[in-house]
Amino acid sequence: MNLNKKLCEIQSSLVANKEAYNSFANFKYRSCESILESLKPYLKKYQVIINLSDDIVLIGDRYYIKSTASITDGEDTIESVAFAREELTKKGMDGSQVTGASSSYARKYALCGLFAIDDNKDADSMDNRVKEIPICSDDKFQENIIKWRKLITEFKGDKRQKAESIIAGLSNRTKFTEKQKKTIISYAQEDIK
């Protein structure tokens, strides 16, 4: 069996589940490591080797990690390339950690390209129901109104626009009653120092 056929067999049967969880953004994802773990049985079965390599390239005025994922059977090689831009700075990370994170990200997408791993779900597999947004309770409103009032009254620009942006910014999480909206907007007319 030639390398193209081996790769086709792997692509059509590989399942790389999203097992890692980002609790901050509330989503599951797959990592480079989990993809490699999923591939190990296929490497032995089809007698192929995966290689991953990185280069740092300058494109314009930014540095990118160029990751190459390749599969070889010793005779032929097929490869896929992906890029990830290094952030100039990343809070809580030193330079080597920023480079490492970019490398891991680029390698993951190079592997996804090589093994035809789709990182998205199709619309039929998602929960497309409209989620009911709860009405802001009086307790929750009272708990936050002082903070919102301060944001509005200390704002240097258009205070009414700031009040409306608070209402709009929270609209995907809570519904305000008309009375609550009027209260928030009324703070745009105050001038508290």
Q: Which residue has the tokens 């909206």?
A: 181
pLDDT at position 131 is: 67
Is-contact 28 20, C-beta < 8 A?
yes
Q: How far apart are alpha carbons 44 and 135 in whole angstroms?
A: 56
Q: Which domains does the chain have, with CATH numbers?
A: 3-119 (3.30.390), 138-189 (no CATH)
Q: How far apart are alpha carbons 116 and 16 in whole angstroms?
A: 11
Interval 81-111: pLDDT, tens: 999 886 666 666 666 777 777 888 889 999 9
Tell me what percent of the residues of the chain surpass a pLDDT of 70. Answer: 85
Q: How far apart are alpha carbons 71 and 47 in whole angstroms?
A: 10
Q: How far apart are alpha carbons 73 and 52 in whole angstroms?
A: 15
Interval 152-184: pLDDT, tens: 888 777 888 888 888 887 777 788 889 988 888
pLDDT at position 166 is: 82
CA dihedral 57, 113, 26, 87 (to 10 degrees): 0
According to the 3-state scheme, what is the secondary structure of the chain? CCHHHHHHHHHHHCCCCCCEEECCCCEEECCHHHHHHHHHHHHHHHCCEEEEEEEEEEECCEEEEEEEEEEECCCCEEEEEEEEECCCCCCCCCHHHHHHHHHHHHHHHHHHHHCCCCCCCCHHHCCCCCCCCCECCHHHHHHHHHHHHHHHHCCCCCHHHHHHHHHHHHCCCCECCHHHHHHHHHHHHCCCC
Give the bridge partners for 59, in sequence order.
62
Interval 32-76: pLDDT, tens: 888 999 999 999 999 999 999 999 888 888 888 899 999 999 999
Q: How far apart are alpha carbons 79 and 75 in whole angstroms?
A: 14
